[in-house]
Structure 1
Amino acid sequence: MRRVISTTLIGLGAFLIMAAVLVKFYAHPSLATMPTNYESTTDLQAIDATIFDASTLEPKSTDLAISSYTVADSDVATPDGVVVWVNRTSILDTSVEGATCDPTVDAALPGCFQQTSDRSPFSAESGAAEACPDCGSYVDESVDVGGEYVVEQVEVNRSGQIFKGPFDMGKEDLQWWDSSLGEATTMKYVGTEKVDGLETYKLVQTIEPTQIGTRDLPGSVFDTDEDTITADEMYGMVRTIWFEPTTGSPVQRVEVRNQYFAFEGQEVPAFVGTVEYTPDTVSDLVDDGKFQSFFLGGMVWLFPLTMIVLGLAAIAGGLQIRRSGGGKRTSKKDRELVTA
């Protein structure tokens, strides 16, 4: 019986040590990548934002509800380590009754202030944009064709981080893609900060007001007698993101946006306000971040070391039991003489 127990303990110990090696060098690298079946909806808000109301040709203050739906395209053939995500962001003016950006709900799209769709290939491990001609990298844009707006797919050559930071982030700056600017700029690491008890890395991206295009507008928008004027479309941003460093996932995001039309020294707001995750979104992301950081972080050292210690203890226990059972045995003849 002792031999069975000792053999079992030694075998268990060897298994635990081997499993520790597999967890550290195989399981962790395999899990520290973005899944090809990813799907999520993130809710954001902009309280008391100022937007340009196309129906009245004037700025208005309102609350905006923003939904960002992201899904992975698991059907497209990609190079190893590359995933493709499609994101659709809808911005609703909550002051409009029945506001929707869904044409199946209301083809007139009442209160749909803005809607964009992006398709982006990127590294499943680092989160950085990847050049993948066969994957498709584009943004849907509304284009004026013969006086009517139609949606066209415009190819985009992205760079930098798109949706998230890399796994196992360092305390360093990132290059972060800005879709309005059409390029990646530096997002500076400014320190660590706790969000609802979760340790995060805080990074800030600052984009000074930059001309990103022009827009033909009625002259009345700028109090001129001209029927139509061409205004510069200006864009500035201060984007702050708090990342859970083990996964590189954002758990809080605050964007101070300053987008306006400029003409002959005058400025008219186009989209000015602070966009941020809703409290419920932050709570959900923090809870997920706490679990993922413990699970993936533990695979680096905690779980392997614990398994090695338990494995060595099991082997030592098995050897001790085997040695303690190896003393001189009493023969049957001796037992009979003793009991005679």
Structure 2
Amino acid sequence: MPSPTSVSAPPPAPATTATGARTAAPTSLALLGLGVFLLVLAPLLAWYVTPWAKVTPVDVDVTTVFTGTGSYFDTDALRTRDRQRITLTRHVLGDVAASEKSGRAVWDVSTTVDTPKTLALADPRRAFQWTTERWVTDRRSNAPVHCCGEAPTRFDGDAYLKFPFDLRRTGYRWWDNTLGAAVPLRFAGERRAGGLVLYRFTGTVPATRTGSRQVPGRLVGRPQQGQIQAEEWYANSGIELVAEQRTGRIVDAAISPVKTLRAPGGRHDAVTLLRGERLRFTPATRRAQLRLAEADSGRLALVGGALPVGAAVAGGLLTAAGVIWVARGRRRTEDG
């Protein structure tokens, strides 16, 4: 009679099946979770993150330079000098502290107009003309905001140092600080520079009285009067602004300003104070503005296009793979 100790226990089930089921389940669930996460992330990037990325920068420090030929009134010689090189330099510096406190884009702008004589002095206080301004705009819409010590306080329009985001093929109003009013611009065509889409806008300013200035009467045809309040007039025969479509950054610009004096009530210009014959961005300025536009546009395209699409595609593939893996793992467990 066999002893109890001689009875052998039934062999255990192969460890590979149980072990395989236990190792496959966490991995497949992690894959499925990652896929679902990416599917949720895709619309968040497109609908929530992208609008937050489309804001006017506040930490700007940009200098743009216009050059061209023209005329200016030499106060030493009391006459207008023609065929001279005119240089317009604009420096934009963001007030980061004021911007963060107010939630607006606060930019301080210094603009100098120089003749060959004053350009060599390298001092804005000794320029032919020097103006300082403080622009405050909404960081999303680019609309003017009246706060934070802005100057001028009557600033209005859709565009000045930049256009709004996502430009349309329509008209915009560009603020002309010399005129002290917004100038209507019309859409004048589209072109490309590398991968950038550029919109061109043009406009003009008819001769408009902008103020008065005390001058010797003989300068404006009134020699019998010692000093006279002459009328200041301004016109711009050609405004051309080229902006990158996605960011609204101006990558090229040309202007033709004319400032003159007239006798009180006069119908004709008596003195030309300044005439710029198509002052335009220098090649170096155009290259720098294009580089900035490429960087800004690339970031917006990545956040608003490539990342959401990539997340959606990858999420769909990972979710499908995770579902299949989980289903196969369950079948193996049931079969075992």
TM-score (norm 2): 0.81
Q: Which has the higher helix share?
A: 2
1:256 aligns with 2:253: no
Determine whether 1:316 maps to 2:320. yes
Indicate the larger mover: 282-291 or 318-327: 318-327
Q: Is the 8 A contact 1:28 1:299 kept in 2?
A: yes
Hey, what does 2:173 align to over in structure 1? 175
| 3-state secondary structure, aligned to 1:100 | coil
Residue type at the aligned position of 1:240: E
Counterpart in the other structure of 1:148: none
Alignment of 1:98-177 (within 5 A): 98-102=120-124, 109=126, 112-132=127-147, 135-139=148-152, 156-161=153-158, 162-177=160-175
Moved more, 296-305 or 282-291: 296-305
> Residue in 1 aligned with 2:5?
none
Read off the aligned partner of 1:45 and give its amino acid letter.
F
C-alpha distance in 2, partners of 1:31/1:18? Answer: 19
Residues 327 and 198 of structure 1: is their aligned pair in 2 closer, same or farther, counting only changes over 3 Å?
closer
Q: Please state how far the C-alpha of 1:94 moved relative to its aligned partner.
A: 2.8
Tell me the equivalent position of 1:72: 94
Residues 290-299 or 25-34, more deviating: 290-299
For residues 79 and 258 of structure 1, the distance between their equivalents in structure 2, rounded to whole angstroms, comes to 39
Pairing partner for 1:59 from 72, 75, 80 = 80
| Structure 1 pair 329–23 and aligned structure 2 pair: CA distance change class (3 A) | closer
Structure 1 pair 214–3 and aligned structure 2 pair: CA distance change class (3 A): same
Q: Secondary structure at the match of 2:270?
A: strand
Query: 1:287 & 1:32 partners in 2: Cα distance?
Result: 18
Shift of the 196–59 alpha-carbon distance from structure 1 to 2, 3 Å rule, reads farther
Q: Deviations over 1:150-194 (max 9, x none)?
A: xxxxxx221113322111122221122111111113111222123
Question: Larger deviation: 123-132 or 76-85?
Answer: 76-85
Q: Is residue 49 of structure 1 aligned with residue 70 of structure 2? A: yes
Which is strand-richer, 1 or 2?
A: 1
The answer for the alignment partner of 1:84 in structure 2 is: 106
2:43 pairs with 1:21: yes
- Flag as ranges the 4+ runs of structure 1 deviating above 6 A: 77-80, 329-332
Cα 1:97/1:311, change in 2 over 3 Å:
closer
After TM superposition, the structure 1 = structure 2 runs for residues 251-330 of structure 1, keeping only pairs within 5 Å, are 251-263=251-263, 264=266, 265-273=268-276, 274-328=278-332
Distance in 1, matches of 2:151 and 2:321, equals 61
Structure with higher Rg: it is 2
**Structure 1 gaps, min length 5:** 104-108, 140-155, 333-340
What is the alpha-carbon distance in structure 2 between the residues aligned to residue 52 and residue 117 of structure 1? 22
Q: Which amino acid aligns with 2:150?
A: S
Q: How does the TM-score come out when normalised to structure 1?
A: 0.81
After the TM superposition, which of the residue ranges 312-321 and 221-230 deviates more from structure 2?
221-230
Measured after TM superposition, the shift of residue 85 of structure 1 is: 1.6
Task: Report the AA paired with residue 191 of structure 2.
Answer: E
Shift of 1:102: 4.4
Would you say the 8 A contact 2:221–2:270 is kept in 1? no
Q: 2:190 aligns with which of 168, 189, 192?
A: 192
Is residue 234 from structure 1 mapped to residue 237 from structure 2 by the alignment? no
2 CA distance for matches of 1:97 and 1:208? Answer: 29
CA separation of 1:18/1:197 partners in 2, compared to 1, >3 Å: closer, same or farther?
closer
Q: CA RMSD in A?
A: 2.7
Shift of 1:299: 2.9
| CA apart distance, 1:6 | 1.7
In the alignment, the residues of structure 2 paired with residue 258 and residue 286 of structure 1 have an alpha-carbon distance, to the nearest angstrom, of 28
Unaligned runs of at least 5 residues, structure 2:
1-22
